[in-house]
Structures are given as structure tokens and as C-alpha cells.
Chains A and B, each alone.
Chain A
Amino acid sequence: MTDTLHAKERDIVVPGEIVAEGLGFLPSKGLYREGEKIRAGRMGMIAVEGKVVKLIPLSGAYLPKLNDKVICKVIDVLMTGWRVETRSPYSAVLGLKDATTEFVPRSADLTQYYALGEYILCKIIQVTSQKLIDITMKGPGLRKLKNGRLVEVNPHKVPRIIGKDGSMVLMMKNATGCTITVGQNGWIWVEGPAPEAEMQAVAAIKKVEEDAHLPGLTEKMKEFLEKLTGKPVEIPQGLPPMQEEPAYEREERRERRPYGGGGDTRHGPGRRGPPRNTPGDN
């Protein structure tokens, strides 16, 4: 039987749909092999690289991962720290030692540091196999988020919102004059000089989310922002200051890395080689 590709690059596929047939193809995460057939294991968009067929998810929940920078909401103040919502089924704990570079006295009122309902940009430093999550506030850029508003997008659209080399979010920042802080969990904090600027940023973010699967998005967004702000917009070239990781490389590194913090770490992160199916695919 000859190898046939039924779906092409950028096709949207639904669970169960036959994407390819033949043993020459290699299904990657989100696709599964059933005899000769390769089927979609969730909704997403197809990308083909030689013999490797990939599925890029466009929807779905956020699964907390080691080293992710996420925006969380404080939901409980504990004896020795805080519990936060991560926009996943699992809450995370911020311990005293990771909360701040200042010294926190034992009798301190913890709400002076982080109070219920406040949003923070933090980093995940541990994920156990039972999904107990620890976060830290110590690190470049990590901070309490004030004077802004929260935008919710699907976590799988975050790479598009950040863009290649951070270019998309930088373009939106420059055009609107807002600070746009993107959490890997799909929560985005927008802080602007005025409500109008903030609303422009929100509209732009929502537009990227809606059209994430379409080609030529950068050009479209340039036009969208120009129309919205009435000012000319430049597509940023070259690498911006390193705050966000390059989007596509990040996706690939995640596929190769052993799962979470409780997984097999013998091989170390960033091992080169073809993406392998991690346990949980079928």
C-alpha cells in the first residue's frame, strides 16, 4: 500500500479523522496510529514535515509544565505561603522562601505581600506526578500584576500571540503603547496609559486568537492595528530583549522533554532526535 496523505498542511481535522495512510508516516503528538491509518487524536491543525505528520492543537486545557511562566490568581493564604489558581485543574503553592527576595518574618501578615484575588506573574519550579505544583516569584520579570486587566485566551493560541521571536506581541505593544504580559496558561495581563489603549490591545489579542490558524496573520494584524490606532505600524525585525522564548522552538522542545517534573530525567532536557510519542498518546 502506498503512503497517502489525506490531509494537507493547515487542514483542520477532528478526532478520528484519517489524516494519512501507510507505514512510512510518523505520527506525532495528537495523532495516533491504527494499523495502516493515522488518525487525529483531538481537534487541531495539520502540519507536515517530510514524513512526520504533526497536529497543532487550537483548543484544550492548560497542563502545568516545569519552567512555564504563568499568570496566577491568589485563592488562599496559608500558614507558610499562598495557594494560587493556575487555570488548570491543579492549584499551585507559593512557599515563603520563593515569595520574595525580602526577608519575611515568621509573624508577618502574608496578605501584605499577596492578597486574595490578586494576580501574579510567576514561574513553575516543580510539577510532581500527582500534579502538586510549586511556583516562585524570584526571577527576572516575575511580579505582582497591578493597574491592568486580565484577558483570557485559549492556552494553545499563546505561541501565535507571542509570535516568532516574540514579534507579534512586540508589534501589539508598540502599536498600542501597552505592556502585554503573556502567561503560558492563556492568561494575559494588559496595562496601558489609558482605557482606550488597553481596549485596542485587548481587541488585537482577541483577533490573533480568532485567526490563529490562518496564514499571513502577521500582515493581517499589521493592517488591523493600523486601522485600530490610526497610526502606521512596523513589523519588528530581529530578536527583542529576551523575555519570551521563541515560540516554535519552544513547542518542539516540549515534545522531546520528559513529561513534567516527576518524569524520567535521565535523558535531560533538550535531547536532539525525532519527536517521540510520549506516554498518553495512542
Chain B
Amino acid sequence: MAAKAVKIEYKKRSDGRSWEELRPIEAKTGIVPRADGSASFKIGHTLAYAAVYGPRDLHPKFMQNPETGILRCRYNMMPFSGHGERVRPGTSRRSQEISMLMSKALLPVLDLKDYPNSVVDVFVELPETDAGTRCAGISAAAMALADAGLAMKDLVVSFSMGYYDGQIMCDLSGYEDCDVGVSDIPVAYIPSMDKFSLLQLDGEVPKEDLIKILQLAKKKALDMYKVQQESLKAKYRQGE
């Protein structure tokens, strides 16, 4: 993210959306037939694939927990997925942090106590990135976990909120995140609990505005929630 010496004027969204509008969403399940559950989640030009394997045997043994199965997320952007240079394959500090945040965002809805000493692996790969990648990853992963038939209290809905010059907006594009320098606030929301399981923020946001941001996020989350629900049911509609 480049530091801007001169503050850019941003009175209208570059892609023509209204401040509250999310980018177009496309969600599908079953994209990795070999996995136990899988889904793809596309929002604007950010596309995330998620595949779930598990519960399955966990190695190395020292990682096993005799009281419950564990959740292990791995987030990875494909080398050609970004708007700049090629990204060298392999983990980075950023991808490790995001992998950990993804697990934390998904764990509250899962119950793995029936599977001690085992692991549920979630692999998220992104062929295309244009901001909001960890959020798309979480949204895809939640669908994949449901598709895999795991015990889940609810789905998890995730997208980024933004704040710039007093203006609140939903679902940042890459241009807004990197070029304009809009404050990025990724969130993940669990509708049945009415709680957030992911909250990050960078930039300057007064507290009253933060509360307004979260309230707007809750509202918009329900739209995305419906899309996730419909996609999960879609494959059972085919026969009818």
C-alpha cells in the first residue's frame, strides 16, 4: 500500500457503485469434487476457492488434541493472481497471519468435539485478487465447511468495510484499498449469534463512526448470507 503525500479526493466510487453497494457476487459449491466439501466465492474481481478435507487423521502427533478435533486453515494467493508483479509461491508472514485469522473467524460456528485427535483442513486458493481476499476466503470456507456436512451452528459472512474522509463504504475494490488509501476494515459476521468473529482495521476511524460501520455491515451481511444459502442448496435442486 503506497503512502500518499497528497490526499486524493474521492467523492464518487470509481466503479460507479453506491457507497453501500457490494460488488457482484457469484458463489458455487462442489468445485473440487475430490474434497469432502468445496466452494468458490467471487466478489467483483476477487475469486477464492475453498476445499475442506476432514475430519481426518492429524500428523504430526504432537498437534493432536484429545478433547476435540482442530481446524487448520491455509490461505494462499496464486502467483499470478495479483495486480502487480508475480508473487513468489510459498507462505509469507502475511499469509500465515491471514490463515490464523481465518481459523479464528470460522471456529465459533464449528463443533469438533465428536472428533478428538483429528483435523479439519481448509485450503483457500485465490486465482484472482482485487482486495477483500481474506474475506472472500472466509465466505468460501464457510460454504465449503457446510458442504462437507460438518456440524455448524451457522454460516459466516465476510467482506470488507471502508472509511475515507468521513465517508463509510462497503466492500472495497483494489483501487480503493491501495490507490486511494481508504481505511480497510475487514469483518466477518455470524447472523444467528449477531456477533463478529473477524474485525481488523487500519487507518483513522473515530469510535462513533466505527459503530455506524459495524451496524451497516450487519445489514449488508444478510444480503450476502442469502447468496451463500442459495448456492449451498443449488445442487439439491438439480434433480427437481
Contacts and interface: CB of A to CB of B under 8 A. Distances in A.
Interface string B125-158: 0000000000000000000001111111111000
A15 B152 contact: yes
Please list the 9 inter-chain residue pairs (A to B) with the smallest Cβ-Cβ separation, ordered nearest first: A60-B149, A16-B154, A59-B149, A89-B118, A15-B152, A12-B236, A16-B192, A89-B55, A214-B239
Interface stretch (B43-51, B87-95, B106-114, B205-213): B106-114
B155 A16 contact: yes
B180 interface: no
Most buried by B among A34, A61, A214: A61
A228 to B, nearest CB: 18
Given A59-B37, A211-B239, A282-B111, A42 B56 contact: no
A252 interface: no
A39 B192 contact: yes
B149 A57 contact: yes
A131 B149 contact: no
B153 A41 contact: yes
B55 A16 contact: no
B114 to A, nearest CB: 5
Contacts of A44: 149
Interface in A77-117: 88-91
6 contacts: A16-B154, A34-B192, A42-B150, A59-B149, A60-B150, A154-B149
Contacts of A58: 149, 236
Interface of A: 12, 14-17, 30, 32, 34, 39, 41-44, 57-61, 63, 88-91, 130-131, 154, 156, 210-211, 213-214, 280, 282
B216 interface: no
A107 to B, nearest CB: 31
A219 to B, nearest CB: 14
A280 B150 contact: no
A281 to B, nearest CB: 8
Contacts of B57: 89-91
A210 B239 contact: yes
B188 to A, nearest CB: 14
A156 B116 contact: no
Interface in B148-196: 148-155, 190-192
Given A58-B236, A89-B56, A280 B113 contact: yes
B219 interface: no
A133 to B, nearest CB: 12
Given A61-B36, A89-B57, A41 B152 contact: yes
B236 A15 contact: no
B191 A16 contact: yes
Given A14-B233, A16-B153, A280 B146 contact: no
Given A14-B228, A39-B192, 16 more contacts: A14-B155, A15-B109, A42-B150, A43-B146, A44-B149, A59-B148, A61-B55, A89-B119, A90-B118, A130-B66, A154-B149, A213-B236, A214-B240, A280-B114, A280-B151, A282-B111
Nearest to B230: A14
Interface string B15-50: 000000000000000000000110000000000000
Nearest to A39: B192
Most buried by A among B55, B66, B190, B191: B55
Contacts of B114: 63, 280
Most buried by A among B114, B151, B190, B233: B151
A42 B146 contact: yes
A280 B111 contact: yes
B58 interface: yes
Given A42-B152, A43-B147, A57-B149, A89 B69 contact: yes
B215 interface: no
Interface in B48-66: 54-58, 66
A88 B69 CA distance: 12
Contacts of A211: 239
A16 B229 CA distance: 10
Contact of B153 (A32, A88, A156, A210): A32
A130 B117 contact: yes
A85 to B, nearest CB: 9
Contact of A59 (B119, B147, B228): B147
B232 interface: yes
A14 B146 contact: yes
A60 to B, nearest CB: 3
